[in-house]
Structure 1
Amino acid sequence: MPLAALPGLSFTAIDFETANPKRASVCAVGVVKVRDGVVVDSLETLVDPPPGHQSFSYRNVAVHGIQPQDVLGAPTWDVVYGKVVEFADGDALVAHNAAFDRSVLVQASEVYGIGVPRSQWLCTRDAAKSVLSLASYRLPDVSSALSIPAHAHHEAGADARQAALVLVELCRRLGPGGLDLVRRHVRTC
């Protein structure tokens, strides 16, 4: 049985994977649109990392499994950025560890001379910390604590969807005032 909608809870969740420790080295992005607490659309793509940031580190590959040959022929960030902006359509952006995801968006865009306008961001990790008492606030741990089924962690589309589900479930559990509590974690940057 589907869960009831949560009127007013609309946003776009986003997640990035990087080729190496440099934040500009985006190699995958996933975005998920939520309307009234229901996932309604998604977009996921591999990205050919920006010039000067195309080397893949062993450690990053071990985390997400994306190899250099996987991004051959993939669109570059200057092309993908426009699609992400169009998809988000002015929504607040939600991410688990939003500071990381925002820095990837900004630094990859800087390589192409793309000015990133100020926008609203909400971090599900920080929101979870404010209402849950856990030993770890990694996305799989927060998901488990909220009884959200496991997902393919470090897959950009799956992580974006999971972050969306975390925010929806936090609001659902917090009841009528939940949306207001969560909105206190929105930052414009």
Structure 2
Amino acid sequence: MLRVAVLISGTGSNLRALLEAAADPGFPARVVVVGADRQADGFAHAEAFGIPTFLVPFREFETREEWGRELQAQLEVWSPDLVVLSGLMRLLPASVVDAWAPHLINTHPAYLPEFPGAHGVRDALAAGVAETGASVIVVDNGVDSGPILAQQRVPVLPGDTEHTLHERIKPVERRLLIEVVRAIAAGDLALPAPEPH
């Protein structure tokens, strides 16, 4: 059984989908802990499923590296086989990435390498493209630049706003995440090591 830790910053909609999938006895992975860098609404999903949580508030640390050391210490308590970033809106320090990669994955609301960064949906709309997408990647020390594990195109419709487009991307993101976690747990997907930057 693959042990999964999930890190969040917000509502945790991807987390919720993963918890629902993992509640199926036939699913080969279990979420063992949920952590966050701030008091996140997504903790409610963890509590609903009886999953332990931990909080490492970014603002309480002098540097990103100090925050990363505490985050790393909290993760190590749970010995996860895989760490999933589920809307964690903060770049991890290199020490944390190096400790977990390639067993560290993230979702992104664009068809990478198109539109990396924090505003993938907005950037796609601004570029006037006919389609964007969703991706699941291995995290490396770049910005959304790690090896791609799964992705799917999502059309941009006339009149789309950032909100409407993102709402159509989210279900695709959730499904891809669940498929990737299942495939890793079942041994059907080998995680490629990120190339050093």
Report the TM range for the smaller structure's normalisation.
Answer: 0.3 to 0.5
TM-score by length of 1: 0.38
TM-score, scaled relative to structure 2: 0.36
Specify which structure has the bigger relative contact order, considering alpha-carbon pairs within 8 angstroms and separated by 6 or more residues. 1
Identify the structure with the greater helix proportion: 1
